[in-house]
Chains A and B, each alone.
Chain A
């Protein structure tokens, strides 16, 4: 049996979680997930400004902070912190923690290969819209293939204490140690599917140990000290989900079910580079306090195509707010919204979308929101999106004047006009897997 913990569900997750996981009890592997779909484009821009950047900058200081424990307790780290510059990330880790052996997995970054792919006839059509990549070619900011767990397992086999990857799947981080330790082969689909589903359960950190849980949320103990999840994996593909004793939160069948359903598409076809997992085969059992046993998982053959994560510059957006108090807080907000729209129209400004929400009334649920006829206060929230940066910038100047020139009791403008932000959009596409070759490099 091996213990694989997840200490980071996304870049920006609780900084103390991975530290506590190596302090509070036994684990063998610490998986850390840093990459969201558009993170790569931000990192690409950082790398263009400075060739030594382009990775998750929180990661090297974390490793420096926990390095002694990693050695004492023989814990190996697997992280996709490398972003678009895993070598630079590895060098920084080595600089801060020179006694750790660091390996990087490369080959996912295809930003420099897109024209080669296009020339070879791969259209890389948008999986949602069907448009060919050529329509946005000159606006692409980053491009990466999702790679699976086998290259990460190879890095573990090379004796790495810390494995740094770029765009691997979130589930690969947890599956890799199982492949490495149990010697699972690339066609053992049921076992690979089991490890993949284990990875899916823990990939959002505490969301499988009581975080964001609807069942008895007020009764879930000590959320301030919530324990992050641990997979206890067996060689035959069975595993348990648990957390360290004495930590807060809860692991139960209800909690694990909620996380299994999270961001799920077709449950019979959960596609990863390693296998296709069948969520309708999963059997769950409560097996003691804060422990759920998972078994019965079936999988099928891995796909011939790998998914590409491409980010491109789309346009600009800004979202501004004002607050109105009772009486008639909603009516005042509605009147202010109308004035802003009229003024934008009179200025001849055009946007792809102008979207208004009345926060406190219907922002989250739109037409489904519970009636709230006389709220004590309402936040007017207007957003615009368009290709013309100047128009978006002009919009940001149209809200605050209403405090003096619109309906009464307007306030909440203290932060000034809202920032104009670039919209980086995501372009999902497919590429034949044989075009993606990964390699493992130990960084001295």
Chain B
């Protein structure tokens, strides 16, 4: 079954230069293994497509039921150089929550 990531997670995003950081947090800590399995760096890179010029790194924080993604070259130069309205990537966390993930029957119970 496909569900949007927003069903089981919340997020906050920000910037470090031209790198966007997106924290994805399991709304229920029990669902962290689903995040860890489904939300890979490759899938995040693919989801944002041409928006991310560089690579995507993923870090795991099982203690918080959370993943931290660094999207390099994702902010049009970042900081003061960027010509984008969302030069700090404040909205990219909400965007990533729309990504669809695959879950097994009964996995959300």
A binding-site residues for B, Cβ under 8 Å: 37-38, 128, 212, 214-215, 254, 257-268, 279-284, 296, 314, 317, 319, 353, 355, 357, 359, 363-370, 381, 383-385, 423-426, 428
Contact = CB atoms under 8 A, between A and B. Distances in A.
Contacts of A368: 47-49, 51, 95, 98
A263 B61 contact: no
A387 to B, nearest CB: 12
B91 to A, nearest CB: 4
B70 A265 contact: yes
A372 B103 CA distance: 29
Contact of B79 (A254, A370, A425): A425
Nearest to A296: B63
Nearest to A321: B85
Contacts of B76: 353, 355
B25 A257 contact: yes
Contact of B23 (A261, A282, A425): A261
12 contacts: A257-B64, A264-B68, A265-B16, A279-B61, A279-B64, A284-B64, A365-B91, A367-B48, A368-B51, A383-B83, A385-B83, A425-B81
A260 B12 CA distance: 9
Interface of B: 10-12, 14-18, 21, 23, 25, 27, 47-51, 59-66, 68, 70, 76-77, 79-81, 83-86, 90-95, 97-98
A215 B90 CA distance: 16
Main secondary structure on A side of the interface with B = mixed
Given A279-B61, A425-B79, 18 more contacts: A38-B80, A214-B93, A257-B23, A262-B21, A263-B21, A265-B16, A265-B70, A279-B64, A314-B81, A355-B76, A355-B84, A363-B85, A364-B85, A367-B49, A367-B51, A383-B83, A384-B83, A385-B83
B27 to A, nearest CB: 7
Given A38-B79, A258-B25, A425-B79, A263 B14 contact: yes
Given A265-B70, A425-B80, A258 B85 contact: no
B15 A263 contact: yes
A212 B90 CA distance: 9
B76 to A, nearest CB: 6
Contacts of B64: 257, 260-261, 279, 282, 284
Contacts of A264: 21, 23, 68
B4 to A, nearest CB: 12
A58 B64 CA distance: 37
A266 B70 CA distance: 9
A366 B85 CA distance: 11
A54 B46 CA distance: 45
Nearest to B92: A365
Contact of A357 (B27, B84, B98): B84
B33 to A, nearest CB: 16
A325 B83 CA distance: 23
B80 A426 contact: yes
Given A281-B63, A355-B76, A259 B81 contact: no
A215 B91 contact: no
B12 A214 contact: yes
B85 A215 contact: no
Contacts of A257: 23, 25, 64-66
Contacts of A267: 59, 61, 68
